[in-house]
Structure 1
């Protein structure tokens, strides 16, 4: 039987505490229906008997204090509130316990922006990780030694797991259930909770908003030029010349400031504009393609799918209300 410790953290997102407990408990019930023993022993653990959530609006009572948990097999780190720095400060005392348990053989799974606390332990240095797409730039800035995998729903490396944004943590929970029980049980859980199993990417949900919290003013102006000239075909050479920077130096500075190469940035800006046209207008795919400065249908579709995980027509059918009708 796997011992699972669900961390109760200050300023944790309540659902990311309740949902893992509910899913693992449900699997125990499914096993009981088969006449099999439970697979999981669940404990909600924390630094105190009661932990405040939502600025003290309500409290969660723990089953055990961290100091009393001598050994566990899996630690679940719930999602944290949007005020990441405050949440990390409030929960920094749990970090030594996580590190100690991992060194003793425990695996650790972070849900959504709980990845920030997992990364704060140092255990992710030199490893890959997922988190909510909206917080990707902040994560990279704070943890440059961690490889953030853009768009991924799940990452797993050396007993450390992480999930993408918001409800995608359900897919990580299914992944853990399949690993610790079997595929049949994971499918049963996916049907019970109405979750699409094996979902791999959060890319269709991501909204690109270029990283501008840097001090390189010419690069910021280059970003603004790209964003205000989305219908134009812009080359890296043109940008470098416009801002009087040698091309190679420009590319290095751009990548350092924005976490994207100039070409990647241009593509992302254009595809974000295309997504909005597909969501909100009656324009066909070719019309949208021309609106965002593409003339090659194959190139447009290739870049669109690379960034969103869907073809333009699949995206339009998924998100355009009139297309659905």
Structure 2
């Protein structure tokens, strides 16, 4: 079981607390359905005296305070409704607490302008980060040692994550659920929270260890070829030959830089393309299967359901219903 701390302070953006909490609670619910075992324990840690007044006039009653002897595995810092440099981020005891947990190896996620907390603690010096777009210039001026990435909604530097918005924080939480407890639970949680609006962590994040940013030029050329030929037959021997490597060396180097076997990598790319086409095109399911390299429609449907826990038709109906529901009103 993992221990999760959601920080709360005056003028925090309410949704930047509630949405991550709902996603994590959903992961617990999914686990209980199958194993009756909870995956995590969530604590709301108050940084100000209770009750804590957050955006929208709501009040939160935390169930814990900062304490050095508490050991959390995941810490989520919400965004602030007003200027993020005021108040909590500058307090020495909060800086020390964050430094303590970072050194312990806890994953720390800053939502929107909560990146100011990490920067004030010195944890982002010479590390990549992002923040809410409104504060880009102020953040860059105030923290010149931070490598600010304005073009990414999510950044990862070791165990530190920054997001540019609440929606991006939701994408990040889904990614962490996947990393902690597996793709099956992550998919089930995502389906409960508008799967059509979720964007894979790998697509909108900058991280030091990104699998598509590496120094193996040979494998990068193969990845580029695969991206351009998703609808063509996939033969590992031919790919190895094309790369100039033995099949064994090709497998080893490909997995080393992507984290996946070549076949798994190709399937992942094809399923992502299928999801995009199901949402944004009027192609038939059979044609989408062919576009993704699957001539056997039945096999394509089985594989899609294995990856997404719903059939292509069910997925399309779910996302199209929300995209076009205004047109359905009579």
Answer whether TM exceeds 0.5 for this pair: yes
Deviations along 1:165-206, one digit per CA (max 9) or x if unpaired, are: 24221111111111111122222221110042316349xxxx
2:27 matches 1:27:
yes
2:83 matches 1:83:
yes
Change (3 A) 1:183 1:70: same
Deviations along 1:25-67, one digit per CA (max 9) or x if unpaired, are: 1110011111252211110012456143248944311111112
How far, CA to CA, are the matches of 1:89 and 1:152 in structure 2? 23
How far, CA to CA, are the matches of 1:56 and 1:164 in structure 2? 20
Q: Which residue of 1 aligns with 2:145?
A: 145
How far, CA to CA, are the matches of 2:69 and 2:12 in structure 1? 20
How far, CA to CA, are the matches of 1:100 and 1:156 in structure 2? 19
Deviations along 1:132-191, one digit per CA (max 9) or x if unpaired, are: 222211111111111111221221121111112242211111111111111222222211
Q: Which residue of 2 aligns with 1:175?
A: 175
TM-score with structure 2 setting the length: 0.56
Count of residue correspondences: 203
How far, CA to CA, are the matches of 1:115 and 1:44 in structure 2? 19
Alpha-carbon contact 1:8-1:51 (below 8 Å) kept: no
How far, CA to CA, are the matches of 2:71 and 2:95 in structure 1? 15
TM-superposed deviation, 1:119: 1.2
Q: Which residue of 2 aligns with 1:16?
A: 16
Alpha-carbon contact 2:130-2:149 (below 8 Å) kept: yes
Change (3 A) 1:112 1:184: same
TM-score with structure 1 setting the length: 0.57
Q: Which residue of 2 aligns with 1:196?
A: 198
Change (3 A) 1:121 1:51: farther
How far, CA to CA, are the matches of 1:12 and 1:25 in structure 2? 20
Q: Which runs of no fewer than 5 residues in structure 2 stay unpaired?
A: 206-322, 324-330
How far, CA to CA, are the matches of 1:40 and 1:88 in structure 2? 26
How far, CA to CA, are the matches of 1:176 and 1:110 in structure 2? 14
2:135 matches 1:135:
yes
Tell me the C-alpha RMSD between the 2 structures: 2.5
Alpha-carbon contact 1:32-1:38 (below 8 Å) kept: yes
Q: Which residue of 1 aligns with 2:119?
A: 119
Alpha-carbon contact 1:108-1:161 (below 8 Å) kept: yes
Q: Which residue of 1 aligns with 2:45?
A: 45
How far, CA to CA, are the matches of 1:53 and 1:41 in structure 2? 23
TM-superposed deviation, 1:2: 0.9
Secondary structure at the counterpart of residue 84 of structure 1: coil
Q: Which residue of 1 aligns with 2:158?
A: 158
Q: Which residue of 2 aligns with 1:186?
A: 186
How far, CA to CA, are the matches of 1:19 and 1:91 in structure 2? 26
How far, CA to CA, are the matches of 2:51 and 2:174 in structure 1? 27
Alpha-carbon contact 1:151-1:164 (below 8 Å) kept: no
